[in-house]
């Protein structure tokens, strides 16, 4: 990314919680829950958007462990993607984009000069953790994880959330991590298969792969890595007392 790039933002342009993209060609995309809900159903019900033969493809069926498996409709997890297919599919994963993320705090904006595939982790996480019938039960573990966090940082926060919510019970923690990884791996892979049917480019596919990688980090001795990170932080405080917080 260009280290000398300057970004000017008007706070009033980002009124709702969600992700806003400013693509290098000047295109602006609003990815808020309200916008998604308003457009997804209309998109799906417009025949010329997605051919019926694609809708009825086996890849569009619900996952084997989905509680709505066998129902004559499409996977809920694909809803957040629908309204943005035509716009996002014009770009590739490493196209540059300025991403502006607004959380619940109306005065706080997070801004990143990043790539399309990194920015669209927001949509993949929204898809897998709030729309997916199975993923919904894991949303609490993702509290505080914004789409602009790096994979390792997000995984550490994910582990700490699980650790806290299960009160440091190692048996429970190991069990939930195992189930989460297994199910997220399947749901992510199924989303990639669906993207292969309806996308020309790789942006959404890689966004789902990146979301899966965050969970996969949990199987890589994340507890030891987290403990080591705290140890290194403590050492830094000792070496650089100016970084200590003053009461």
Angle between helix 151-165 and 222-239 (nearest 10): 100
The whole-number average pLDDT for the span 190-215 is 85
Cross-strand partners of 101: 19, 110
Which pLDDT does position 33 carry in this prediction? 80
**pLDDT at 247 > cutoff 50:** no
Q: CA angle 150-153-156, nearest 5°?
A: 145
Q: Helix (H, G, I), strand (E, B), or coil: what is residue 30?
A: strand
Alpha carbon 37 to chain centroid, angstroms: 17
Report the distance separating Cα 169 and Cα 139, nearest Å: 20
What is the rounded distance in angstroms from the CA atom of residue 191 to the CA atom of residue 35?
A: 21
Give residue 97's pLDDT. 92
Structure tokens at 164: 């806290």
Q: Are 30 and 87 in contact (CB under 8 A)?
A: no
Q: What is the pTM of this model?
A: 0.76
Mean pLDDT of the chain: 80
* Helix (H) or strand (E) run with residue 190 in it: helix 170-198
> What is the per-residue pLDDT across 63-91, written as a single tens digit (0 to 9) for each?
888 998 887 777 888 888 877 888 888 99
Structure tokens at 131: 């729309």
């Amino acid at each position: 990314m260009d280290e000398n790039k300057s970004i000017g933002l008007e706070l009033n342009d980002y009124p709702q919680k969600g992700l806003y993209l400013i693509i290098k060609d000047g295109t602006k995309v609003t990815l808020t829950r309200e916008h998604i809900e308003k457009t997804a159903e209309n998109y799906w019900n417009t025949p010329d958007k997605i051919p019926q033969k694609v809708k009825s493809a086996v890849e569009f069926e619900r996952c084997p462990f989905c509680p709505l498996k066998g129902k004559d409709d499409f996977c809920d997890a694909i809803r957040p993607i629908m309204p943005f297919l035509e716009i996002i599919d014009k770009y590739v994963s490493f196209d540059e984009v300025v991403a502006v993320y607004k959380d619940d705090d109306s005065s706080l904006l997070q801004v990143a000069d990043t790539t399309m595939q990194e920015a669209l982790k927001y949509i993949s996480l929204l898809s897998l953790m709030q729309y997916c019938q199975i993923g919904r039960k894991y949303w609490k573990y993702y509290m505080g994880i914004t789409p602009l966090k790096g994979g390792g940082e997000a995984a550490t926060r994910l582990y700490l959330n699980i650790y806290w919510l299960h009160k440091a019970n190692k048996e429970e923690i190991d069990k939930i991590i195992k189930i989460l990884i297994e199910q997220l791996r399947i749901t992510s892979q199924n989303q990639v298969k669906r993207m292969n049917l309806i996308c020309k480019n790789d942006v959404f596919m890689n966004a789902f792969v990146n979301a899966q990688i965050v969970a996969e980090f949990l199987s890589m001795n994340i507890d030891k890595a987290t403990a080591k990170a705290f140890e290194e932080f403590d050492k830094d405080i000792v070496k650089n007392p100016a970084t200590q917080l003053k009461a």
